[in-house]
Amino acid sequence: GGPNDVFGIQMLGNTLLQWGTEEQKHHYLPRLLSGADVWCQGYSEPNAGSDLSNLGLKAQLDGDQWILNGQKIWTSAGHLADHIFTLARTDPDAPRHKGISFLLVDMRQPGIEVRPIKMISGESEFNEVFYTDATTPKHEVVGGVNNGWAVAMTLLGFERGEAAATLPIRFQAEVDRLVILAKERGVADDPIIRQRLAQCYAKVQIMRFNGMRVLTRFLKGHHPGPDGAISKLYWSEYHKEITELSIDILGAEAMIPSGRHPSSAFQTDDAGAPNSSWSWVGTFLNARAGTIYAGSSQVQRNIIGEMVLGLPKEPR
Ligand SMILES: Cc1cc2nc3c(=O)[nH]c(=O)nc-3n(C[C@H](O)[C@H](O)[C@H](O)COP(=O)(O)OP(=O)(O)OC[C@H]3O[C@@H](n4cnc5c(N)ncnc54)[C@H](O)[C@@H]3O)c2cc1C
């Protein structure tokens, strides 16, 4: 549970292993493992979310450095990070997917401004990031100039699929906590609540078996690609279901939550966390976001349909 686990190790580390130059691997991998550099993800823009290839952050080569101008949005933990991996348009005349590069940028410079955005839960976990003549050295491009789309997709595979084997462990602990909450609140013998708890338990078992399948494929050398969408879609939709059940178990208390807040805005609270009403209400509010970040549920369904099942592409 370190600050670099997700953006640093899970996403960028795995991607650098695949696409980075020897110099990039040598320089960055030890630093993201030790936490010397803390990373965030600069993909989304006001006009580029699901339609990511529409991104407009401009990067122009000027001698030995890139000059960046434009804006990113929804940058999680951008206020805590000191480095951002970012997608920029490096050839405005090329077809959309072919003029993008994946750049590594040090945020500790006057050309980068981070502005926090307030969320429904009251926290400020994500940000806008503005680039005004920000710079990064020419060699800080990963996977080659104008080849950033392929690198970006590799990273999204790790973002969506990599935790498939470990997430169910946390979800199991969460169901266990909810069973305790149902007993504490005297609703454990309510037949509807019991049925919904059993459904949650069964879904966690499905995720556990899918996780083992993903892990087995990983050990055989298959890196998560479009099939990562299956895990992402399943866990995020499931997580809305269990957190809605927690609100029903709390009843009116969910309107005036009290006690300890969840430790993280992402996924579950800690295993064995105290069953405060704020823990569940905070997790419930954040669960909505799970079906949006790393690609919305609709986008995951499109990916599964088109790239996993080979169905006809959606009309554009
Ligand atoms: C908590 C949180 C953290 C985030 N962190 C980061 C981060 O660290 N870095 C980063 O770069 N981004 C981050 N994001 C942004 C996230 O990736 C985008 O919000 C997401 O990709 C959706 O883009 P959008 O918000 O522009 O919505 P839009 O793309 O405008 O989508 C609006 C709606 O239209 C639907 N839709 C769009 N296209 C289609 C289609 N082709 N078919 C069917 N339905 C469609 C969507 O499903 C959605 O319901 C984060 C988002 C959240 C909520």
Interatomic CA distance for residues 276 and 259, integer angstroms = 5
pLDDT score at 315: 81
> Are 198 and 274 in the same domain?
yes
Interatomic CA distance for residues 302 and 162, integer angstroms = 20
Q: How many domains does the chain have?
A: 2
Task: Determine whether the shortest distance from the Cβ of 18 to ligand 1 is under 6 A.
Answer: no
Task: Determine whether the shortest distance from the Cβ of 74 to ligand 1 is under 6 A.
Answer: yes
Task: Determine whether the shortest distance from the Cβ of 10 to ligand 1 is under 6 A.
Answer: no
> Are 110 and 13 in the same domain?
yes
Report which ligand 1 atom has the smallest distance to the Cα of 46.
26
Tell whether the model's pLDDT for residue 58 goes beyond 80: yes
pLDDT score at 119: 79
Does residue 134 lie in a domain region? yes
Domain boundary among 144, 176, 204: 144
Catalytic-residue membership of 184: no
CATH number of the domain within which 223 lies: 1.20.140.10
Tell whether the model's pLDDT for residue 194 goes beyond 70: yes
> Are 93 and 180 in the same domain?
no
Task: Determine whether the shortest distance from the Cβ of 54 to ligand 1 is under 6 A.
Answer: no
Task: Determine whether the shortest distance from the Cβ of 131 to ligand 1 is under 6 A.
Answer: no
Ranking 35-49, 86-100, 112-126 by mean pLDDT, the lowest is 112-126
Instruction: For a ligand 1 pocket test, name from 7, 291, 293 the mutation site with the most ligand atoms within 8 angstroms of its C-beta.
Output: 293
Report which ligand 1 atom has the smallest distance to the Cα of 119.
1
CA of 270 to the centre of ligand 1 (A): 26
Q: Identify the residue whose C-alpha is closest to ligand 1 atom 29.
A: 50
Q: What pLDDT, in 10s, does the model give residues 214-238?
A: 889 888 988 778 888 999 999 999 9
CA of 292 to the centre of ligand 1 (A): 5
Whether complex ipTM tops 0.95: yes
State the chain's mean pLDDT as an integer.
94
Among residues 292, 289, 177, the alpha carbon closest in space to that of 242 is found at 177
Tell whether the model's pLDDT for residue 48 goes beyond 90: yes
Does residue 56 lie in a domain region? yes
Cβ–Cβ under 8 Å, residues 166 and 263? no
Interatomic CA distance for residues 120 and 15, integer angstroms = 32
Confidence of residue 1 (pLDDT cuts 50, 70, 90): low
Interatomic CA distance for residues 137 and 62, integer angstroms = 10
Report the percentage of the chain scoring pLDDT > 70.
99
Q: What pLDDT, in 10s, does the model give residues 256-314?
A: 999 999 988 778 899 889 999 999 999 999 999 999 999 999 999 999 999 999 999 98
pLDDT score at 155: 94
Tell whether the model's pLDDT for residue 127 goes beyond 90: yes
Task: Determine whether the shortest distance from the Cβ of 295 to ligand 1 is under 6 A.
Answer: yes
> Are 170 and 240 in the same domain?
yes
Does residue 202 lie in a domain region? yes
pLDDT score at 165: 84
Confidence of residue 5 (pLDDT cuts 50, 70, 90): confident
- Structural domain for 266, as ranges: 166-308
Domain boundary among 82, 110, 144: 144
Interatomic CA distance for residues 314 and 316, integer angstroms = 6
Interatomic CA distance for residues 18 and 116, integer angstroms = 32
Task: Determine whether the shortest distance from the Cβ of 264 to ligand 1 is under 6 A.
Answer: no
Does residue 219 lie in a domain region? yes
Does residue 158 lie in a domain region? no
> Are 174 and 272 in the same domain?
yes
Report which ligand 1 atom has the smallest distance to the Cα of 7.
8
Catalytic residue among 45, 125, 140, 159: 159
Confidence of residue 132 (pLDDT cuts 50, 70, 90): very high
Confidence of residue 7 (pLDDT cuts 50, 70, 90): very high
Among residues 114, 131, 127, 115, the alpha carbon closest in space to that of 69 is found at 131
CA of 294 to the centre of ligand 1 (A): 7
> Are 128 and 171 in the same domain?
no
pLDDT score at 222: 85
CA of 3 to the centre of ligand 1 (A): 23
> Are 42 and 98 in the same domain?
yes
> Are 228 and 139 in the same domain?
no
Tell whether the model's pLDDT for residue 120 goes beyond 80: no
CATH number of the domain within which 119 lies: 2.40.110.10
Q: Identify the residue whose C-alpha is closest to ligand 1 atom 24.
A: 49
Confidence of residue 252 (pLDDT cuts 50, 70, 90): very high
> Are 239 and 105 in the same domain?
no
Task: Determine whether the shortest distance from the Cβ of 41 to ligand 1 is under 6 A.
Answer: yes
Question: Quick one: average pLDDT of 55-84?
Answer: 97
Task: Determine whether the shortest distance from the Cβ of 47 to ligand 1 is under 6 A.
Answer: no
Does residue 69 lie in a domain region? yes
Does residue 279 lie in a domain region? yes
Q: What pLDDT, in 10s, does the model give residues 133-179?
A: 999 999 999 999 999 999 999 999 888 877 888 899 999 999 999 99
Does residue 154 lie in a domain region? no
> Are 26 and 83 in the same domain?
yes
> Are 188 and 302 in the same domain?
yes
Query: What phi and psi values does residue 234 have, to the nearest 5 degrees?
Result: -70, -50
> Are 10 and 84 in the same domain?
yes
Tell whether the model's pLDDT for residue 249 goes beyond 90: yes
